[in-house]
Amino acid sequence: MDAHYRRLEAIYDSAPVNNHFLRPTLLVKDGSSTLTIQFDKTHFHAGGGIHGARYFRLMDDAAYFAAASQEKEFFLLTLSFEVKLFRMITTEELECIGTFEGKEGKDYIATAEIYANGKIAAKGKGVFRASEMRYNDIQS
């Protein structure tokens, strides 16, 4: 199992989209993931907080990898993702915890919570489904 989790982490690390963020780190375990990421002021909106699009991205990734920890063969795709923002985040380092909640038919359900300075700032819930692409076909 550890090899699958390390493969998922390598896939995340190799994604070109991560070049837009400062030192993101992902740790995948059985049914969970922890994503720590730093943002600079270029990710802030005019009100001085991190833009909501970044909240979404962080929670989608954390929930995705919690769900992917349960799917050993196929790359998952996000079918839907619900975001609830509780407060504006003005700190530059965030931690997001993803948790696999269960499987309903072909769908993997996972949640995510963003923490800033140890306080919850947002929650999300995603539905993910296996694609036709195999993890083994992804170059990392």
| Number of structural domains found in the chain | 1
**How high is the pLDDT of residue 16?**
84
**How high is the pLDDT of residue 88?**
79
**How high is the pLDDT of residue 123?**
97
Mean pLDDT across the chain, nearest whole number? 90
**How high is the pLDDT of residue 111?**
98
CA pair distance 60, 137, nearest whole angstrom: 22
Q: What is the pTM of this model?
A: 0.91
Q: One-letter amino acid identity for 15?
A: A
pLDDT tens, 32-74?
A: 999 998 877 777 788 877 777 788 889 999 999 999 999 999 9
pLDDT > 90? residue 19: no
Range of the domain at 92: 2-137
**How high is the pLDDT of residue 22?**
66
Residue 51 and residue 39 in contact, taking contact as beta carbons nearer than 8 Å: no
pLDDT tens, 59-115?
A: 999 999 999 999 999 999 999 999 999 987 777 788 999 999 999 999 999 999 999
**How high is the pLDDT of residue 93?**
80
Going from the C-alpha of 72 to that of each of 7, 8, 61, 106, the distances in angstroms are: 10, 10, 17, 14
DSSP per-residue string spanning 9-22: HHHHHH-GGGGGSE
CATH of the domain at 23: 3.10.129.10
pLDDT > 80? residue 18: no
